[in-house]
Chain A
Amino acid sequence: MKRKDTVKLISTDEMEFVIDKDAAMVSQTIRNMLTSPGPIDNWVFLGGFAETELGEVTFPEISAVILEKICQYFYWALQYSRGKETEFHIEPELTLELMMAANYLHT
């Protein structure tokens, strides 16, 4: 089966965001979710976590508004790393929750 190159992120209010895997991997936490325990070798097959197999991740503590902002950030970060320097605008009322999510997602 061809590996999917998109992932589905689901917020606590069950909004689904389908984004590129590359973008999602900006978050170290999501990267681990999708790749652990690393490439499968000939010797051992322990199987990955549910997320790896389904290609979707549920975040019971993140609301749709924040998750949307996070997804925007992922794409912005990809661009930024490719050398396109623009500003990322954050509405003041989202700041605190966004920070908490950032700590959680290790971005």
Chain B
Amino acid sequence: MSSQKKKAFQIEAFKHRVVVDPKYAEKTWKILEHAIHEIYNHNASGLSFEELYRNAYNMVLHKFGEKLYSGLVTTMTSHLKEISNSIEAAQGGLFLDELNRKWAEHNKALQMIRDILMYMDRTFIPNTHKTPVHELGLNLWRDVVIHSHAIQSRLQAILLENVRRERSGEVIDRGLMRSITKMLMDLGPSVYQDNFEKHFLEVSADFYRLESQEFIESCDCGEYLKKAERRLNEEIERVSHYLDTRSEVKITNVVETEMIESHMHRLVQMENSGLINMIVDEKYEDLGRMYCLFRRVSSGLVLIRDVMTSYIRDTGKQLLTDPERLKDPVDFVQQLLDLKDKYDKIITSAFRNDKTFQNALNSSFEYFINLNSRSPEFISLFVDDKLRKGLRGVTEEDVELVLDKVMMLFRYLQEKDVFEKYYKQHLAKRLLSGKSVSDDAERSLIVKLKTECGYQFTSKLEGMFTDMKTSQDTMQGFHASHGSDIGDGPMLSVQVLTTGSWPTQLITTCNLPAEILGICEKFRNYYLGTHTGRRLSWQTNMGTADLKATFGKGQKHELNVSTYQMCVLMLFNDADRLSYKEIEQVTEIPTSDLKRCLQSLACVKGKNVLRKEPMSKDIADTDTFLFNDKYTSKFFKVKIGTVAAQRESEPENQETRQRVEEDRKPQIEAAIVRIMKARRVLDHNNIVAEVTKQLQSRFLPNPVVIKKRIESLIEREFLERDKGDRKLYRYLA
């Protein structure tokens, strides 16, 4: 539509302008040319926009567009040549100023020229596919001014020199720099890149290569990182002040490569100040800085993580293999926790809670905790210690905190069933001796174990708690019905334990004193009267007793002793002097237990209610014991503990191991059967893999053991070997 309209105009116009002066075009162009000169000479106020616009309009309309355009190019080029000369003539520091001022002027002039030639821009240029006026002006500026040889190299040198001066701490005119780089950007990204950025990056790389070399020779790691960080921030700041934003990535890359990546290994391993030293000295700030900087380069974090991991593993290994430390399990576990706390703190405060670092930490702990096969026992002992006394008078939150930490160590354990075994033993001791500090804490830990390992894992532990509860009720019932018969006799308190829930102990009954036997019988009758079809057997090795004893000077003490000790002491009601052999004969206490119990009665200072002949630390079969008349104590109640090694002795440990191994067998078999039932046919390696996977939450089964179990199952005709392929097993329903 519009083009047709224009045609109509042109026809009309021609008719109208037929009489026009043949020199019209030349004359009109002269007017416009003059105007362009005036504009460049700041004299525009004398010009009439309307007149100029009308002239340009008419020229285009009368098909002199080409003349107008080429005239513009020539005129502008000549003006720019002048400008270029005047810029070249500028002295030293004024060069940039001049360039910038001329550029601003050119921009204004260009805008005015474009405005008066707008009609040409609008119609003639799109039709003939020429460069629009504004762009033309920029291109001419680029070609005539910037690319003029004298200016180009000088501009580059000055810009780079300014950057260098700023890097070395001088103050430069950032506004001017900003204008100049913006000019280069306006002329097109490639102009900016070719004339400035490319060289800038090269020079920067050289600069930082030298500087980093110098720093690394003279500074320690922390100091170096501080300097690198400052340089990096400076560059970022520089970009934001006077460079194109797209340069940021490029220049930071340069700094990263030169200052960090190429010195990465040296920094991490730097003597006396490297990563390890930072960890040891807990320099969170430096570690954080290292993390932030190294994160910027591709393999930086991997490097930190690897070094940290191997260091944790080493220290952990040392901790676990140091026989000195292993002497005190509680202290040992506490050290593990402290170690974990330390690294947790490093990771949260310096490594921004990086997940990969947490994983590395966890796997390192898992690695070294399982290096020592006694770790499960020690962790259980630690819990035992905490629940016996460590948590007394501590707030509930703190209790939870300690328990959570223990659970965290527990998670690292591979042999969770070993832990369970020990835990059960320790829990049984705590419950039966009533030594547990807090029932809530006990239960809370059970709940945690349950969420961690499932119902199966804790059902027996929970059974123990239930037994304790029902025993209380039973005792109440017993006292209610028999209370009157007992009278002055000894008080009895029985805990009825379900076999299976409690750690199995070899039943080693001893002969109870007659006074006790009577009431025991009464209880047995009472209990079996209410619960038919049950069997009761006495676990004398786990009980305790309170005895009232009168000593030589008539002072009375209440002695809190174990059942065994009670049996021994009761003998001295009738005799003053008994030989070891006699005691053993009457009580029938197993040898090791008896020795231990005599030792605690006779050899511990302050608690030696018996005297031994001859005096020595150890109990021999030939020893004789006397009632210690001269015993004194400032306490009324005296607790006589058993001299019992808290941690298991080597043979006991072996025994527990064996029991654990025994317990594992049915579990492995069950897992095999479960898998085979689902798969019907499977080859050996796959079975091993799946069994391992299924049992992982409890322990790490040994492939050899799995193989033995498979063989046993084949013997019992649960499985058979495939006739064709001997590696395949079939499930026999």
Q: Interface residues, chain A, CB within 8 Å of chain B?
A: 28-29, 32-33, 36-38, 41, 43-53, 57-61, 96, 99-100, 103-104, 106
Closest 7 CB pairs of A and B: A49-B49, A36-B115, A33-B49, A32-B115, A37-B112, A47-B45, A37-B111
Q: Which of B159-199 contact A (CB under 8 A)?
A: none
CB distance from A58 to the nearest CB of B (A): 6
B118 located at the interface, meaning its Cβ lies under 8 Å from any Cβ of chain A in the complex: yes
- Structural contact, B44 and A48, CB atoms closer than 8 A: yes
Complex Cα distance A57/B9, Å?
A: 24
Interface of B is mostly: helix
B42 located at the interface, meaning its Cβ lies under 8 Å from any Cβ of chain A in the complex: yes
Q: Interface residues, chain B, CB within 8 Å of chain A?
A: 5-6, 9, 12, 39, 42-50, 52-54, 57, 100-101, 104-105, 108-109, 111-112, 115-116, 118-119, 122
Contact of A41 among B47, B53, B100, B104 (CB under 8 A): B104
Instruction: For B109, list chain A residues within 8 Å (CB).
Output: 37, 46
Minimum CB distance partner of B46 in chain A: A50
- Structural contact, A57 and B50, CB atoms closer than 8 A: yes
- Structural contact, B45 and A38, CB atoms closer than 8 A: no
- Structural contact, A47 and B101, CB atoms closer than 8 A: no
Minimum CB distance partner of B100 in chain A: A43
CB distance from B76 to the nearest CB of A (A): 15
A-B residue pairs in contact (CB < 8 Å), sample of 5: A29-B53, A32-B116, A46-B42, A100-B9, A103-B6
Minimum CB distance partner of A102 in chain B: B5
Instruction: For B46, list chain A residues within 8 Å (CB).
Output: 50
- Structural contact, B118 and A28, CB atoms closer than 8 A: yes
Complex Cα distance A60/B52, Å?
A: 12
- Structural contact, A43 and B118, CB atoms closer than 8 A: no
Instruction: For A43, list chain B residues within 8 Å (CB).
Output: 100-101, 104
Counted as pairs of residues, one from A and one from B, with CB atoms less than 8 Å apart, the total is 85
Instruction: For B9, list chain A residues within 8 Å (CB).
Output: 99-100, 103
- Structural contact, A46 and B105, CB atoms closer than 8 A: yes
Complex Cα distance A103/B52, Å?
A: 16
- Structural contact, A60 and B54, CB atoms closer than 8 A: yes
- Structural contact, A37 and B115, CB atoms closer than 8 A: yes
Minimum CB distance partner of B111 in chain A: A37
Contact of A46 among B6, B39, B122 (CB under 8 A): B39
Complex Cα distance A47/B44, Å?
A: 6
CB distance from B19 to the nearest CB of A (A): 16
Contact of A49 among B6, B57, B112 (CB under 8 A): B112
Complex Cα distance A60/B51, Å?
A: 9
The answer to whether residues A104 and B57 also contact, given A32-B115, A36-B49, A49-B48 and a CB cut-off of 8 A, is yes
The answer to whether residues A49 and B111 also contact, given A44-B104, A103-B5, A103-B9 and a CB cut-off of 8 A, is no
Complex Cα distance A103/B54, Å?
A: 11
Instruction: For A28, list chain B residues within 8 Å (CB).
Output: 118
- Structural contact, A50 and B104, CB atoms closer than 8 A: no
Instruction: For B12, list chain A residues within 8 Å (CB).
Output: 96, 100
Instruction: For B47, list chain A residues within 8 Å (CB).
Output: 49-50
Instruction: For B116, list chain A residues within 8 Å (CB).
Output: 32, 36
Instruction: For A103, list chain B residues within 8 Å (CB).
Output: 5-6, 9
Complex Cα distance A106/B54, Å?
A: 12
Instruction: For A32, list chain B residues within 8 Å (CB).
Output: 49, 53, 115-116, 118
